[in-house]
Structure 1
């Protein structure tokens, strides 16, 4: 089976918000840049904050940490919320789109889905396994077409779909009272422990800091918050 590629999408709130609207996500919530992880800078984010989207470099340090974390989880399995929406990534370079789907589809008690590509995908896949969800996305030509159209809108030079990408998107969001790290390239989601509406953005910031602190000489990180739209 040949691998399916898409063009990597840029970490750009302006582009990604248009992308979400095209997918059928209501405009009550939108993405905004996170300019710092200190409490004072987090406090200026529109409220409520439902998720963080983290873009980070795929370094040797990261993969070493990931291996160690996987080994620990084999020895001590974690609790996974029953109502979690989680899918695997088979569509190459689609990690940004998958992170957005993870952020939105785990917050449907607050975010409205209009008729459109994301709602159709959710209704088809909500009761399926993470693998089956990912396989359906891999072949969803409507979503792929929308992704490709917005991947061409960023401010940076558009790479070829086949080029190796050295950065990766994940989502951090609250599911019940759990802080979940959702990465479609991993077999399982990661439960980082208890959180709440009031503490989520501070707890998620601590997870982001751990990613950043593993890369002492690399500042190529961006963080966006999925939060209440300022004009709502």
Structure 2
């Protein structure tokens, strides 16, 4: 079967909020830039925040860590929290879309899904395996069409769909008071330990800092948060 590609998205809240609106996510929650990961900066973010989306370079340090982590989890798999929505990535360059799905679909008790492409996808996907969910996205022309139309709206020139993109998005969110890292390229969801509604922002920031410490000379990290839009 031929590999399928989409144009990669950039970490631009304006564009990504348009994407969420077009697929049917309530505008009560919006993506916003996170300009710093220290407590005094995080305190100024609107609350509640239900997810962080981290964009990072796929360095050799990161890839080595990913392989080591995968071997550890194969030997000692952790139990996924009840109700976790996790999907694998098979559609190339769709990591941003999948990170957004992970952020929204693990918070459907808080975020309303309107009639539209994401609600339709979720109804089909919720009882499937992570692999089946990933393959379902490959064939979802409604979502792919919306993705492609907005991927060209960023501030930088969009690379072609087949171009090798050396950056990756992951989602961090609270599932059953567990801080989960959800990455469709990994074989398992990653549990970073206990969290809570009150501590999630600082706990997620600490995980982002771990990514940054693995590549201390690298500056190309971006964090955005999915936050309530009504309270500023």
TM-score range, shorter chain: over 0.9
Q: Secondary structure at the match of 1:217?
A: coil
Aligned to 1:138: 138
How many residues were matched structurally? Answer: 232
**Residue 83 (structure 2) aligns with:** 83
Specify the SS of the correspondent of 1:16: helix
Confirm or deny: 8 A CA contact 2:57 2:220 kept in the other structure.
yes
Q: Report the TM-score when normalising by structure 1.
A: 0.98
> For 1:183-210, what per-residue CA distance to the aligned partner results, in whole angstroms no more than 9, with x for missing partners?
0011110011100000001000000000
Alpha-carbon separation, structure 2, partners of 1:104 and 1:4: 24
Q: Which residue of 1 aligns with 2:92?
A: 92
Deviations 1:131-181, CA, capped at 9 Å, x for gaps: 000000011000000000000100001111110000000000000110000
Residue by residue over 1:8-29, the C-alpha shift from the partner in whole angstroms, topping out at 9 and shown as x without a partner, is 0010001100110000000000
Determine the C-alpha separation between the residues in 1 that align with 2:75 and 2:28.
42
Ranges in structure 1 where 5+ consecutive residues have no aligned partner: none
Q: Does 1:30 align with 2:27?
A: no
Give how far 1:71 is off.
1.9
Partner residue in 2 for 1:223: 223
TM-score, scaled to structure 2: 0.98
Taking only aligned residues, the RMSD between alpha carbons, in angstroms, comes to: 1.0
Aligned partners of 1:4 and 1:64: how far apart in 2? 26
How far the C-alpha of 1:231 sits from its partner, in A, is 6.4
Structure 2 residue runs of 5 or longer lacking an equivalent are none
Q: Distance in 2 between matches of 1:162 and 1:72?
A: 32
Match status 1:68 vs 2:49: no
CA distance, structure 1, for counterparts of residue 68 and residue 98 of structure 2: 24
Kept after mapping to 1: 8 A contact 2:31/2:225: yes
